[in-house]
């Protein structure tokens, strides 16, 4: 009936809960004109194995092209501003989200993210179910064409 765990002491101080202060996020990740991004949680910074989290700040009127993220699930939490999401085979569906709202993007869903404001920055927290920078760009003519600046999200390279 011996439990192996009792013989292997885990250093919970070293391998326990981690707090990553907002002012210590890592901006040393790929940057894109029109936005800034910073990694909070990944394997290198926190030892995470199954999720990635960070912040993304998107300039006014920025939009992505149509794409999906393979088998990754994404959660976007809007901190400030107004986000518009388009999705579907022809990006025919649309929804908007504001501060305090969560957006869930399932695997393989063709979508486009849009900062719905022409003058206010959109600030979000992004959480992904994996750390691989999976992005599949799709040949879909966007209903709303990317204009001033393209929005490429935090793990796109």
Count other Cβ atoms within 10 Å, centred on residue 82.
16
Instruction: Give per-residue pLDDT as tens, 63-81.
Output: 888 888 899 999 999 999 9
> Is residue 102 in a domain?
yes
> Is residue 63 in a domain?
yes
> Is residue 114 in a domain?
yes
Amino acid 139: pLDDT: 83
Upper half-sphere CA count for residue 23 (Cβ side, 13 Å): 0
Amino acid 146: pLDDT: 56
Upper half-sphere CA count for residue 80 (Cβ side, 13 Å): 11
Amino acid 157: pLDDT: 42
On the question of pLDDT at 129 being above 70, the answer is yes
Amino acid 106: pLDDT: 94
> Is residue 94 in a domain?
yes
Amino acid 9: pLDDT: 87
> Is residue 21 in a domain?
no
Give dist(CA 59, CA 36) in Å, integer: 9
Q: What is the CATH number of the domain that holds 62?
A: 2.60.120.10
Contact assessment for residue 98 and residue 76, using Cβ atoms and an 8 Å cutoff: no
Amino acid 16: pLDDT: 81
On the question of pLDDT at 103 being above 60, the answer is yes
> In this predicted structure, which of 23-32, 57-66, 144-153 has the lowest mean pLDDT?
144-153
> In this predicted structure, which of 9-13, 36-40, 61-65, 83-87 has the lowest mean pLDDT?
36-40
Paired residues of 35 in beta bridges: 32, 58
Place of tokens 């326990």: 16
Q: What is the pTM of this model?
A: 0.78
> Is residue 3 in a domain?
no
For the chain, what is the domain count? 1
Range of the domain at 97: 34-157
Upper half-sphere CA count for residue 131 (Cβ side, 13 Å): 15
Instruction: Give per-residue pLDDT as tens, 20-47.
Output: 777 777 776 655 555 677 888 888 888 8
> Is residue 62 in a domain?
yes
> Is residue 117 in a domain?
yes
């Amino acid at each position: 009936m011996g439990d192996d765990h009792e013989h292997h002491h885990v250093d919970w101080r070293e391998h326990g809960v981690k707090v990553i202060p907002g002012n210590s996020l890592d901006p040393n990740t790929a940057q894109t004109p029109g936005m800034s991004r910073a990694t909070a949680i990944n394997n290198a910074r926190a030892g995470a194995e199954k999720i990635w989290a960070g912040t993304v700040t998107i300039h006014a009127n920025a939009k992505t092209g149509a794409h999906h993220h393979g088998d990754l699930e994404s959660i976007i939490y809007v901190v400030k501003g107004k986000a518009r999401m388009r999705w579907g085979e022809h990006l025919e569906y649309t929804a908007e989200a504001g501060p305090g709202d969560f957006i869930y993007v399932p695997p393989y869903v063709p979508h486009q993210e849009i900062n719905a404001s022409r003058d206010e920055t959109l600030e979000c927290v992004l959480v992904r179910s994996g750390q691989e920078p999976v992005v599949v760009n799709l040949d879909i003519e966007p209903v709303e064409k990317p204009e001033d600046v393209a929005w490429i999200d935090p793990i796109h390279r």
